[in-house]
Amino acid sequence: MSSNAGFGTMWRAASRVGSALAARTGDRRARRRGLLAAAAVAMFVSGGAVTAYAMQSDGAPSDRAAIEAIVRSYILEHPEIIPEAIERLKAKQVAGKVAAHRSELETPYKGAWEGAEAPRVTLVAFMDYACGYCRASLPDLARLLKENPDLRIVYRELPVITQDSVGAAKVSLLAAEEGRFPAFHQAMYAAGNVQPDSVVKAAGKAGIDAAKARAAIRDDGGDEAIMQNIRLAQALGAEGTPLFVVGDQVFNGSVGYETLKEAIEKSRKSG
C-alpha cells in the first residue's frame, strides 16, 4: 500500500469515528470533536498526531474517553497501520539528523568528490578501502553519475575494518589535497587490499609521490577529517560501510542501483 493510498484509506476509516461519536451524542460540537479525532488517527501515520490531539484537547472528559475508545478499537481492528506509523516516525527522525548535519555532509574534503560542480542532488558515500561491499558499489555509483549530470558524489573516508584501512584513508586524503582523488580511489579498490605496499602502489598509479604516501601511512597523529567522518556516521546511525546519504534518506550497506536511483529522483523532486 502506497503512503498516499494508505493515508486515504485510513482517513476514510477514521472519519467514521466522527460519525460514531455524533451518533452517540447528537451534538454538533461532539461531531466536530469526533472529526478532529478522526484526523488524529489519519494524521498519526503521517506524523501529525500531536497536533490533531491538541486541536481536540478542549473536549469534555467523557467525549475524550469515547474518542479514545473508538480510536483504540480501530487500531486493534487494523494493526497494519502500526508498522507504517513506525516507519514514518523513523523516516522523520532520520531526516532530522540529516538536516542537522547537511552542510558538513555535503561539503567535500578538498577534491574528494566526483560529478557536477553545481549539483542539484548530492549523494554522500562513507566507504572503507577494505570493504568488499564498497567495491561492489562502484559500478552502481559510476552508472548513476553517467545518467545524472546534476549529481555529485561526495566521498567520506570511514576506515573501520582494519588498522591498515586508516593508512589507506590518510593517503586518500592526500590524494584529495593534490587533486588526484578519483584516480587513487579507483586504483585503491582495484588493488583488492589495504596493505601498505598496495596503498603506495595505488598512490603511484594516481601520480602521488611514493615518499609522501609512505609518510601519510606512518603518521600516527589523529586526522581531524577522519574523526569528523566517524562522528557524522555515528550521528546517522551507521552500521558499517558503505553508508549512503541522499536527500533526507540514509542507507546502510550496498543497497544497489535501483534504491539509490529512486532516492536521487526523490531528492531532485523535493528540491
Instruction: Write the CATH number for 212.
Output: 3.40.30.10
Provide the pLDDT for residue 11. Answer: 46
- The H or E element spanning position 137 is helix 132-147
- Examine the domain organization and report whether 110 and 234 are in the same domain: yes
Higher pLDDT, 158 or 219: 158
Give 17's pLDDT tier (boundaries 50, 70, 90): very low
- Examine the domain organization and report whether 111 and 213 are in the same domain: yes
Domain interval for residue 42: 3-79
- Examine the domain organization and report whether 49 and 180 are in the same domain: no
- Examine the domain organization and report whether 266 and 161 are in the same domain: yes
Is 175 a member of any domain?
A: yes
Cβ atoms 252, 243 nearer than 8 A: yes
This prediction's pTM: 0.72
Percent of the chain's residues with pLDDT above 70: 77
- Examine the domain organization and report whether 123 and 64 are in the same domain: no
Provide the pLDDT for residue 53. Answer: 46
Query: Across all residues in the chain, what is the average pLDDT?
Result: 83
Among 47, 79, 111, the domain-final residue is 79
Provide the pLDDT for residue 65. Answer: 82
Cβ atoms 81, 45 nearer than 8 A: yes
Higher pLDDT, 78 or 124: 124
- Examine the domain organization and report whether 69 and 145 are in the same domain: no
- Examine the domain organization and report whether 172 and 265 are in the same domain: yes
Provide the pLDDT for residue 182. Answer: 97
Provide the pLDDT for residue 267. Answer: 97
Task: Give the dihedral sign, CA 213/218/221/225.
Answer: positive
Provide the pLDDT for residue 60. Answer: 62
Among 48, 79, 110, the domain-final residue is 79
Residue identified by cell 558515500 is: 125
Angstrom CA distances, 98 to 9, 131, 143, 162, stand at 31, 24, 25, 27
Average pLDDT over residues 61-90: 79
Give 58's pLDDT tier (boundaries 50, 70, 90): low
Contacts (Cβ under 8 Å, ≥6 apart) of 52? 36, 37, 39, 40, 43, 44
Q: What single letter denotes the amino acid at residue 162?
A: T
- Examine the domain organization and report whether 161 and 195 are in the same domain: yes
Is 171 a member of any domain?
A: yes
Please count the structural domains in the chain: 2
Strand order in 113-115's β-sheet?
A: 113-115, 151-157, 121-127, 243-246, 249-252
Among 25, 48, 79, the domain-final residue is 79
Provide the pLDDT for residue 21. Answer: 46
Cβ atoms 104, 227 nearer than 8 A: no
- Examine the domain organization and report whether 144 and 72 are in the same domain: no
- Examine the domain organization and report whether 24 and 123 are in the same domain: no
Average pLDDT over residues 72-85: 81
d(CA 11, CA 36): 11
Higher pLDDT, 59 or 220: 220
Q: Give pLDDT tens digits for 181-235.
A: 999 999 999 999 999 999 999 999 999 999 999 999 998 876 899 999 999 999 9
Nearest by Cα to 182 from 114, 109, 133: 114
Is 195 a member of any domain?
A: yes
- Examine the domain organization and report whether 64 and 149 are in the same domain: no
Provide the pLDDT for residue 77. Answer: 85
Is the confidence at residue 19, as pLDDT, over 80? no
